Structures are given as structure tokens and as C-alpha cells.
Amino acid sequence: MLFNRYRRGLFITAFLAAPVTLYLVYVISPYIQAFYISMTDWRGVSATPAFIGLENFRRLLEDGTFWKAVTHNAGLLVLLPLITIVLALFFAFLLNVGGGGRAVGGIRGSKFYRVVFFFPQVLAVAVVAVLFQQVFRPDGSGMLNAPLMALGGKPIGFLSDPGVAFWSVLGVMVWQAVGFYVVLFSAGLASIPRDMFEAAQIDGAGRLSLFFRITLPLLWDTVQVAWVYLGIIALDVFAIVWVMTDQHGGPDWSTTVMAAEVYRNAFQYFRFGYASALGVVMFFFTVGFAILSLRLTRRERIEF
């Protein structure tokens, strides 16, 4: 008995030791080291950085570009989950429940749409970014501007007009995210017993009340998870901005985000200490958001 227990412990330990060690060495320890580096003046090449206490944090309080980046992240934090979830819920509803017929089911061709919606998710972020650079081109070869110019309009500088660029970034992020959440919500919908919808339909509920009275409340858990995921994506967005926008977060800093500023300070200005300080601040923003949103959205769970 005791021997058995011991063997089982050994067995589990043997399996877990490697991943836990890797996790500690490659995930936890760099986090801890980043906290230390953020209090040094390390410029990336020296072997002996000097400790300067909280100097970097004092400096970042006055860094206009960084705070501009923070406002962009905040904007994304509100808009990205909102738009994505609303669109994804709408599509998932149509694909699964919203069909007009007598039986509960999606609209016509829903199987095909489901695949199409998922396409963007399959593409790597860098591919999406380069793709949209071409879509947004400001001349006749841009996919959006070509028809606009053919109709006699002036081309829109989707990425070159500082007033528009942020919205272009948001649009691409929504485009890329929606497909995944359609699938997520579809899975959620599939776990809701069919008879609930049928009962409601028999009672004479239309599509609208079906959605607000049945679908949404029963999907609330999934929506909550989606919200946290999307919020974290909004806070640590990097590749789309860095690859797609002009001047990595431009023009005129109009699309820069926290992660881009961390990268810029580290690998372009060679201020690794300062960049780590930005990273530490970003870490607290992200953790703070996760805790806050999980607290706020806590709600009664419905068991089927």
C-alpha cells in the first residue's frame, strides 16, 4: 500500500519534473529577472549593469509616447471585446439557432459559413499583417481603395492617415478574432439542450427574444471567458501593429501600443533596463485586468 503510493508519486513526479522545470527556467525566472533588469540602466551589451532603483519608473511617468500607447491599449480593451463578441454572438446564433424554419437550426449554408469564418484564424498574425498592408494600399492597387477610386472618390490613407490608422488596426484585429469566437460560441450553443429553444419557439418566441431570453443568458459563462481572452489580446497586441503599420506604431505614433514601446526601447534604443520597466508596468496592467474582470463578471452558474 505504502509502496504503491510511493510508486505512484514517483510516476507523477517523473512526468511533471521536466515541464515544471522548463516552466520555472524559461517562464518564471525571466519574469523575475525582468523585475531586476527594470531597476538597472542595462543597455543590452554590457556585462555589468548598474542598479538605479526606481529611476526607470519615474522616467516612464513622463514618457508621452508610452502613455499614448497606454490609451491605445485602453481603447482596444473596450472596443475589441465589445465588437468581436457582439459580431461573434450574432453569427453563432445565425449559424446554429437563427434559421427561420420549424426545427431549431442554422440559416441555409451555415456549414459553409462556419468554415469561412474560421479562415482568418488559420493564418499567422504576420501573414495577416502583410496581407492587410496590401488591402489598405493607398493607390489603385489597394483592394479597398481601387473600387473607391474607380467610383471617383479620393483614396483613404487607411494606414497613412493618423486619424484612420487606429481604426484600421482595430478592424483587422476584429476580423481575425471573430472566427474563433464564432466557433467557441457555437460549441457553447451546442451544449444548451435543444428542447429549451423548442419550448420557447412553441411559446411563440421570435428570433430576437430567442436570442436575448435564451441564448445570451445560457452562454454567459462562455461570453465571460471570451471577454477575458480578448481583453488580454487587446493589452498585449504587438505583431499586427509592428508589422502592419507604418513606422511600427505610426504614422505619428497613432497606433503604437505598450508592447511596441517595450520592443522599441529594447531593440532599437538599446535601453533594456527601461524597456523592462515598461514591461513590468504592462504586466501589472494585464494581471490587474484579468483579476478585475473575473471578479466583476462572476455570476450564478446555470446547471443543465
Stretch that binds another protein, among 96-104, 113-121, 159-167, 172-180 (CB under 8 A): 159-167
Using the rule CB under 8 A, is 12 a contact of another protein?
yes
Using the rule CB under 8 A, is 264 a contact of another protein?
yes
Using the rule CB under 8 A, is 246 a contact of another protein?
yes
Using the rule CB under 8 A, is 180 a contact of another protein?
no
Build a one-symbol-per-residue string for 45-74: x at contacts with another protein by CB under 8 A, - elsewhere: xxxxx-----x---x---------------
Q: How many residues does the chain have?
A: 304
Q: Which residues, 6 or more positions from 263, have their beta carbon under 8 angstroms from its beta carbon?
A: 238, 242, 275
Q: Take residue 107 and report the three cell numbers written for it.
A: 440559416
Using the rule CB under 8 A, is 136 a contact of another protein?
yes
Q: Which residue's CB is nearer to another protein, number 169 or number 200?
A: 169
* Residue type for position 187: A
Using the rule CB under 8 A, is 20 a contact of another protein?
yes
Q: Which of 287, 246, 282, 238 is nearest to 126 (CA)?
A: 238
Build a one-symbol-per-residue string for 92-131: x at contacts with another protein by CB under 8 A, - elsewhere: ----------------------------------------
Angle, CA 287 vertex, CA 76 and CA 41 arms, to 5°: 95
**Which residue in 92, 137, 166, 282 binds another protein (CB under 8 A)?**
137
Could you give the angle at which helices 29-37 and 272-296 cross, rounded to 10 degrees?
120
Spatial separation of the C-alpha atoms in residues 52 and 179, rounded to whole Å: 47
Q: Which residue's CB is nearer to another protein, number 36 or number 112?
A: 36
**Which residue in 66, 91, 117, 158 binds another protein (CB under 8 A)?**
158
Spatial separation of the C-alpha atoms in residues 218 and 199, rounded to whole Å: 15
Contact 119, 265 (CB under 8 A): no
Contact 73, 235 (CB under 8 A): yes
Query: Where along the sequence are the contacts to another protein (CB under 8 A)?
Result: 1, 4-5, 8-10, 12-13, 16-17, 20-21, 24-25, 29-30, 33-34, 36-37, 41-49, 55, 59, 136-139, 145, 155, 157-162, 246-247, 250-253, 264, 267-271, 274
